[in-house]
Amino acid sequence: MQSNVPSTPASLTLPARRFSTFQIVCSVLFILTFLGSYKLAQVKPLLLFETEGRRNIWKFVTGMFPPDLSWNFLSLLGRPILETIQISLMGTVIAVVIGFPIGLLATSSLTFKGILYERELAGSRPRAMLRKGSYLLARAILSLFRTIPEFVWAFMFVRAVGLGPFPGVLAIAISYSGMLGKVYSEILEHVNPGPLEALQATGASRLTILLYGLLPQSLPNLVSYTLYRWECAIRASAILGFVGAGGLGQQIEISMRMFNFNQVTTLVAILFVMVAGVDALSARVRNAILGRSSV
């Protein structure tokens, strides 16, 4: 009978707020990591305010103005600017060429599961293993490509094939093919399966299903993401010059090393204008492709 006794209206008062174990563990780990990192990274905020640091920063800031706009300097920049754009374009296109096929292999709905394989004979185990194997291999390659920063790729390619824009293109191509391939496969895995099923019912082959079912659905997203990556490539290719892979970065590094900070101001301003221009351009194209009204 005891169980029938209605609970006391104590439950009307708000329960005291309790932290879950997960939150407590996370906070403790966070604090420990913070303390450990603080010690390890040799953080000395006072360094910023010491006489020497202060003098250096002041020298830098005053050195930055006025920006160097002399014709001598500006005329040097035409080629690096164009080179930066060329590297980003070429690199992105090759990244698509490498990333797209690997991305297809890394799409689980294309290689081994989902409606395209519902009717696959259960008996053919070796084939299934092969499919799964190629899927895993493609994923591993993509993750290797994109996990190593493009900067490190550029460094190695400069060593392998020499200075100039060519290693820059290769670095962007490799690391961006990893990113593009991964995102392509995610986009392809999340298409609406209805049209695929309909095509399959007509007896279409897998290639036909890919061409007429998958791609038409996902093309706008694929193109839009590629354009977004191209924006990132412009920024990246400007930086790659630091290791001798051509473009604006090389000029930034030279000016920095020569303590010509007023040139750095000019270069950063140019970089800003370039990136903003490409941003605006690609935003327009992307909106047009995705059928949104332009912002």
Partner 1 sequence: MAHTPTQAAGLAGAKRRDLLSTPNLIFLAGFLVLMAWSYVGTEFSLRGLLGGESAVQILTYAKKLFPPDLSTDFLLKTGYWTIETFAMSFLGTILAVLIAFSLVFLSSRNLMFTGLLFEMERRRPWVRALRTVLYLSAKAALNLLRTVPHLVWALILVFAVGLGPFPGMLALGIHTGGVLGRLFGEVMENIETQPIEALQATGASRLQILFYGILPQVLPEFVAYTLYRWEVNIREAVILGYVGAGGLGQQIQIAISLFLEHRLLTLILAIYLIVTVVDSLSAYLRSRLA
Q: Which is nearer to partner 1, 5 or 14 (CB)?
A: 14
The three state secondary structure string of the chain is CHHHCCCCHHHHCCCCCCCCHHHHHHHHHHHHHHHHHHHHCCCCHHHHHCHHHHHHHHHHHHHHCCCCCCHHHHHHHHHHHHHHHHHHHHHHHHHHHHHHHHHHHCCHHHHCCCHHHCCCCCCCHHHHHHHHHHHHHHHHHHHHHHHCCHHHHHHHHHHHHCCCHHHHHHHHHHHHHHHHHHHHHHHHHCCCHHHHHHHHHCCCCHHHHHHHHHHHHHHHHHHHHHHHHHHHHHHHHHHHHHHCCCCHHHHHHHHHHCCCHHHHHHHHHHHHHHHHHHHHHHHHHHHHHCCCCCC
Q: Which is nearer to partner 1, 168 or 200 (CB)?
A: 168
Nearest distance, CB of residue 25 and partner 1, angstroms: 11
Nearest distance, CB of residue 76 and partner 1, angstroms: 16
Q: Which is nearer to partner 1, 32 or 130 (CB)?
A: 32
Query: Which residues would be at the binding site for partner 1 (CB under 8 A)?
Result: 22, 26, 33-34, 36-38, 40-44, 47-48, 53, 56-57, 60, 82-83, 85-87, 89-90, 93, 143-144, 147-149, 151-152, 155-157, 159-161, 164-166, 168-169, 235, 238-239, 242-243, 246, 249, 252, 256, 264, 268, 271-272, 275
Q: Which is nearer to partner 1, 92 or 109 (CB)?
A: 92
Nearest distance, CB of residue 181 and partner 1, angstroms: 16
Nearest distance, CB of residue 28 and partner 1, angstroms: 15
Q: Which is nearer to partner 1, 157 or 184 (CB)?
A: 157
